[in-house]
């Protein structure tokens, strides 16, 4: 990552450090800071307007053990595999590969997610099933919650985003990340309440948050869980 200073000079900080970093330098930043982006599995260095190459590199090197230790704590990426136990809308199911053609289905009674087809396609088929289930569930839940405040949802889409968990447009279209299907039930309820509240308030004003809390009593709990554990939803590729 090349960094351009106000002096016009540039330097390649990753080459100096020996490992990759995400570099940001917002105009209002006054000091060097480090954090871990758990979703992208990379350290993030914030650099102020005036900062020398030597100072930036020295700062990161002095915190290198902290960076590497926290990166190691992030769960390794993995594929969905046979016999994995996953959470789907707050309930645990075991993934079971089935040799019976067309047997991809959710057995709620026995808490099993049967996935058919070749074993080499199991990961993709599990993702496809979750996305389909997510569309059904989030559409149903969004409509029900929106009805409570006299609003309607125009359309619901399922996406694979990293910048935000969900979004609501001025056209009453709501997008949800498919990964939210893997979150605890109270987190899902919070996200739905959050996005539906945007149907009435396209901002994050006090009125908006009051409506979120009215629609979901565990809103604070859901918001806190995502802040602390949201990266775990990115464990699967």
Q: Where are the domains of the chain?
A: 2-72, 85-234
The verdict on pTM exceeding 0.75 is yes
Element (H, E) at 107: strand 105-107
**pLDDT attached to residue 168:** 97
Rounded-to-integer distance, Cα 188 and Cα 1, Å: 37
**pLDDT attached to residue 224:** 97
**pLDDT attached to residue 64:** 86
**pLDDT attached to residue 8:** 39
**pLDDT attached to residue 19:** 67
Task: Tell me the fold of 85-234.
Answer: Zincin-like (3.30.2010)
**Helices 219-229 and 185-197, interaxial angle, to 10°?**
110
Mapping DSSP to helix (H, G, I), strand (E, B) and coil, where does residue 161 land? coil
Other C-beta atoms lying within 10 Å of the C-beta of residue 20: 12
CA-to-CA dists, residue 52 to 17, 69, 89, 203, 217, angstroms = 15, 26, 49, 39, 49
Rounded-to-integer distance, Cα 57 and Cα 68, Å: 15
Segment-wise mean pLDDT, segments of 10 residues, the chain, 237 residues: 42 63 75 84 82 81 86 86 97 93 90 94 96 98 98 97 91 98 98 98 96 97 95 90
**pLDDT attached to residue 189:** 98
Rounded-to-integer distance, Cα 48 and Cα 221, Å: 34
**pLDDT attached to residue 46:** 85
**pLDDT attached to residue 12:** 59
Q: For the chain, what percentages of helix, strand and coil (3-state, to nearest 5) are there?
A: 40, 20, 35
């Amino acid at each position: 990552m090349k960094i351009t200073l106000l002096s016009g000079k540039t330097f390649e900080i990753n080459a100096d450090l020996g490992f990759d970093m995400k570099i940001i330098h917002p105009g209002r930043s006054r000091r060097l800071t480090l954090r871990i982006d758990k979703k992208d599995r990379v350290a993030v260095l914030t650099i102020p307007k005036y900062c020398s190459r030597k100072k930036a590199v020295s700062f990161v090197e002095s915190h290198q053990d902290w960076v590497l230790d926290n990166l190691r704590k992030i769960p390794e990426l993995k594929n969905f595999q046979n016999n994995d136990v996953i959470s789907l809308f707050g309930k645990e199911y075991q993934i079971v590969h089935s040799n019976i053609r067309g047997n991809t289905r959710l057995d709620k009674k026995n808490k099993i997610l049967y996935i058919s087809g070749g074993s080499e396609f199991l990961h993709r088929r599990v993702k496809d099933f979750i996305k389909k289930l997510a569309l059904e569930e989030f559409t149903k839940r969004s409509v029900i919650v929106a009805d409570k405040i006299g609003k309607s949802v125009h359309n619901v889409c399922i996406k694979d985003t990293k910048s935000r968990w969900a979004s609501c447009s001025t056209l009453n279209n709501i997008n949800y990340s498919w990964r939210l299907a893997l979150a605890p039930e109270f987190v899902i309820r919070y996200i739905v309440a959050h996005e539906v509240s945007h149907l009435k308030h396209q901002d994050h004003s006090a009125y908006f948050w009051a409506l979120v809390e009215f629609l979901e009593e565990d809103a604070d709990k859901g918001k806190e869980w995502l802040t602390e554990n949201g990266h775990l939803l990115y464990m699967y590729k």
